[in-house]
Chains A and B, each alone.
Chain A
């Protein structure tokens, strides 16, 4: 069965520190992948996407993610976090020809001064 795993439910980092949020997927076919961010009381905002091509993708707000087929991972990174990055982050995976996006359970990011 198709699945998406975000192993970290909650991560706390200091402002200015680097960040990596993990996402692993299990799909039989070539996936396309997204990272979304959800601030409290808000909808989901797309950070970045990967369909094909360069496996390192750049997104908004200084985020990037790397698709590693051999590890079935699509980890989100940011070199220096800001207090405004505190939110919940969702990895989502789809398969060409199947419109159902499967979301991970999310990682809540807390930023401490």
Chain B
């Protein structure tokens, strides 16, 4: 158990809908990262927050947004969902903004039908 909690584990939704994925980082970790894992794209970095502020942005679509709350949990919002958004979404957390290893949650499997 990495200490990173993601909910829900599985999500099935229809195209055009909006979903929210939730992540609770390890106790004491200030950084949260979101990654998308799909068969065709592999593991792609989406976005990082550090202590409530956006710190780095990767290949995140405009339809996707994220935030980190004062209690350090994070949410990834996916809207106007398309079939191609079906993937495993991972959250990871680390102590600091740099040079620290990231611990991954078990992921949320999103299926868009």
Inter-chain CA distance A66–B44, complex, in Å, is 25
| Interface band, chain A | 20 to 34
Whether A51 touches B99, Cβ cut-off 8 Å, given contacts A43-B4, A43-B90, A45-B2, is yes
Q: Mark A93-113, 1 if CB is under 8 A from B, else 0.
A: 000111111111110000000
B62 within 8 A of A: no
Do A43 and B2 touch across chains, with their CB atoms under 8 A apart? Answer: yes
The interface of chain A, by Cβ under 8 A from chain B, is: 32, 34, 36, 41-46, 49, 51, 90, 92, 96-106
Do A106 and B33 touch across chains, with their CB atoms under 8 A apart? Answer: no
Instruction: Report the tally of A-B residue pairs with Cβ distances under 8 A.
Output: 51
Inter-chain CA distance A78–B101, complex, in Å, is 21
Do A43 and B101 touch across chains, with their CB atoms under 8 A apart? Answer: no
Q: Mark B47-84, 1 if CB is under 8 A from A, else 0.
A: 01000000110100000000000000000000000000
Residue of A nearest to B41 (CB): A105
How many B residues, CB 8 Å from partner? 25
Do A97 and B98 touch across chains, with their CB atoms under 8 A apart? Answer: yes
- What is the minimal beta-carbon distance from A81 to any residue of chain B, in angstroms? 23
Do B107 and A103 touch across chains, with their CB atoms under 8 A apart? Answer: no
B105 within 8 A of A: yes
Residues on A with C-beta less than 8 A from B101 are 34, 46, 49
B102 within 8 A of A: yes
Interface of A (DSSP majority class): strand
Do A106 and B2 touch across chains, with their CB atoms under 8 A apart? Answer: no
- What is the minimal beta-carbon distance from B91 to any residue of chain A, in angstroms? 9
Q: A99-B55, A103-B35 are in contact. List 19 more A-B contacts (CB 8 A).
A: A32-B99, A34-B101, A36-B104, A41-B106, A43-B90, A43-B105, A46-B101, A49-B101, A92-B43, A97-B98, A98-B56, A99-B33, A99-B48, A99-B56, A99-B98, A100-B45, A102-B45, A103-B44, A105-B42
Residue of B nearest to A99 (CB): B56
Residue of B nearest to A106 (CB): B42
